[in-house]
């Protein structure tokens, strides 16, 4: 932990909840997005519970991807875990994506703190296949995520919408 920022135990609890689907969990209650931020005292990474989303929160939205992106503040850094549903040439897939959002307009000190804390956080979240870095508005576009998942030639749809 190069930055000296600790990882709150609740982060691990939410990570385990979003990555493991137990048989008794109703589909609508599953987590779709877990947002994390550095605490006000800058001593730990915590879950931003009021901005987390469950499947039931997004299932009737016209555009799930836009709803996910809207939860990332345009001028503040955040980490997130996104349970992404997409279809490639072979099958329908669901992968957990680690998002590191460090907008250009965020304070430099904030960006440096998030950058130096990322590796410690990733070490506590094993098995993540994809990482999506968001720095500007172009990165907030669906095509940026599609590239991470294999590109337009491979990915046919994202969250039920053709790409």
Average confidence (pLDDT) over 122-135: 94
Segment (H or E) for 46: strand 44-47
d(CA 7, CA 17): 16
Q: What is the pTM of this model?
A: 0.91
Domain extent listing, the chain:
6-162
The pLDDT of residue 41 is above 60:
yes
What is the band of 27 on the pLDDT scale with cuts at 50, 70, 90? confident
Average confidence (pLDDT) over 46-64: 91
Q: Which residues have a Cβ under 8 Å from the Cβ of 137 and sit 6 or more positions away? A: none
Helix pair 9-19, 108-124: axis angle to 10 deg: 60
Q: What is the mean pLDDT of the chain?
A: 91
Q: Which CATH class is domain 6-162?
A: alpha beta
Other Cβ atoms within 10 Å of 123 Cβ, number: 10
Look at residue 72 in the predicted model and tell me its pLDDT: 95
Lowest-pLDDT choice from 27-31, 63-67, 134-138, 155-159: 27-31
Look at residue 46 in the predicted model and tell me its pLDDT: 97
Residue 44, CB-side half-sphere exposure with 13 Å CA sphere: 10
pLDDT, tens only, 77-115: 999 999 999 999 889 999 999 999 999 999 999 999 999
pLDDT, tens only, 133-163: 999 989 999 999 999 999 988 999 999 899 8
């Amino acid at each position: 932990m190069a930055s000296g920022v600790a990882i709150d135990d609740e982060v691990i609890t939410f990570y385990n909840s979003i990555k493991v689907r137990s048989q008794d969990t109703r589909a609508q209650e599953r987590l779709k997005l877990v947002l994390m931020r550095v605490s006000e005292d800058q001593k730990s990474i915590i879950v931003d519970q009021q901005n987390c989303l469950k499947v039931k929160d997004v299932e009737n939205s016209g555009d799930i991807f836009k709803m996910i992106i809207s939860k990332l503040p345009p001028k503040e850094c955040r980490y997130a875990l996104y349970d992404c549903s997409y279809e490639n040439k072979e099958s329908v897939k669901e992968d957990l994506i680690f998002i590191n959002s460090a907008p250009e307009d965020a304070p430099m000190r904030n960006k440096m703190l998030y950058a130096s804390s990322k590796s410690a956080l990733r070490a506590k979240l094993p098995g993540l296949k994809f990482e999506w870095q968001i720095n500007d508005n172009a990165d907030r576009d669906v095509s940026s995520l599609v590239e991470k998942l294999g590109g337009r030639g491979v990915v046919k749809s994202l969250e039920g919408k053709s790409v």
